[in-house]
Amino acid sequence: MPEYHDDKSQHCIPFLLEHLKAHQARHGNNPDAPPFFLGLNGVQGAGKTVLVSMLQQTLRNPPYSLPVVTLSLDDIYLTHADQQALAARHPDNPLVQHRGQPSTHDLTMGRAVFASLRANQPTAIPQYDKSAFQGQGDRVLPESRWETVNRDGEEKIRVVIFEGWCVGFRALDEDTLRARWQDAVRRKEDPASGYDGRLGYVRFEDVKTVNDALREYDVLTDQLDALIHIDAQNTRFVYDWRQQQERTLRATKGTGMTEEQVNRFVDGYYPSYELYTENLRKGVFAPTEENKGRQLRLVVDKDRKVCDVVRI
């Protein structure tokens, strides 16, 4: 696994502090004020983990000294048994045969965790083990062993970082969904197009299942106060980055997916990158004057180095 050089914090920390200050100003000294919710979207393997660590370290230490918690979208995946049941209900849909796509998360649990954090209540933060079941994953630890924040007598969480590969994705209307799918199919069938995506290889009804499920994720997205998007010059980089991650997982835990399994795994994600990245780049929040500047987009090259910074 290559070493990560953190060149993202210098852009993200001032952005976060600016919006956190505005959030605190709106709520004054109200002890019951909700925490600040930061969304962090990043192409798999682009360096979210390192960035989250830097953001946490900055906020938890002087001069800010703020209680911070990170909730990963990965940690609210369905249990292995529930994922198998979902796959069995859609046996011909390759997009839901394993964890990853919208519809493979436990949104009931996600909503409950968000609500508890927003109300400053004691909250157990879910944990998911990706290495379980030969890399298929499962929620192995019982809730009694999850980290609990906002316990009685503890300082309340002031910043929640909600991170994940599809955090902030918004469902498309059916006409747009069909048009993007049809365009992918046309390019796949044209040898001169150089098409290297996956959307053109799946059925419309399969992507519609995912798109319909994604509408339910708005209940989380709509609670975000700001969003950071780590984008890639070419989303195909995700295949190499994900292979690097899995090699590290196999080396540290002794179990994980093979290279072929990783490629098939990323194939299952890739149609959503093709469908939803364009709109994410335009902005997650409604295009109002009040929302201007609430999203930060960092574009990284194949070495994960920042090559462009955009405020939306």
Which parts of the chain fold into alpha helices (H)? 9-27, 48-60, 80-89, 107-118, 174-189, 204-214, 218-221, 237-253, 259-282
Asked if residue 52 belongs to a domain, the reply is yes
The whole-angstrom separation of Cα 157 and Cα 235 is: 34
Percent pLDDT > 90 in the chain is 85
Mean pLDDT (whole number) for 9-13: 95
Q: Which tops the pLDDT comparison, 206 or 250?
A: 206
Range of the domain at 302: 9-306
The whole-angstrom separation of Cα 115 and Cα 34 is: 10
Asked if residue 42 belongs to a domain, the reply is yes
Asked if residue 30 belongs to a domain, the reply is yes
pLDDT tens by residue, 264-312:
889 989 999 999 999 999 999 999 999 999 999 999 999 999 999 999 9
pLDDT tens by residue, 194-223:
999 999 999 999 999 999 999 999 999 999
Asked if residue 2 belongs to a domain, the reply is no
What is the 8-class DSSP label of residue 266? H
Query: Which CATH number goes with the domain that contains 253?
Result: 3.40.50.300
pTM: 0.93
Asked if residue 264 belongs to a domain, the reply is yes
The whole-angstrom separation of Cα 149 and Cα 127 is: 14
| Structural domain total, the chain | 1
Asked if residue 26 belongs to a domain, the reply is yes
* pLDDT of amino acid 1: 38
Asked if residue 3 belongs to a domain, the reply is no
Non-local CB neighbours of 33 within 8 Å, separated by 6+ positions: 24, 27
Is residue 57 within 8 A of residue 35, CB to CB? The reply is no
Closest CA to 113 of 173, 72, 54: 72
pLDDT tens by residue, 40-90:
999 988 989 899 999 999 999 999 999 999 999 999 999 999 999 999 999
Asked if residue 134 belongs to a domain, the reply is yes
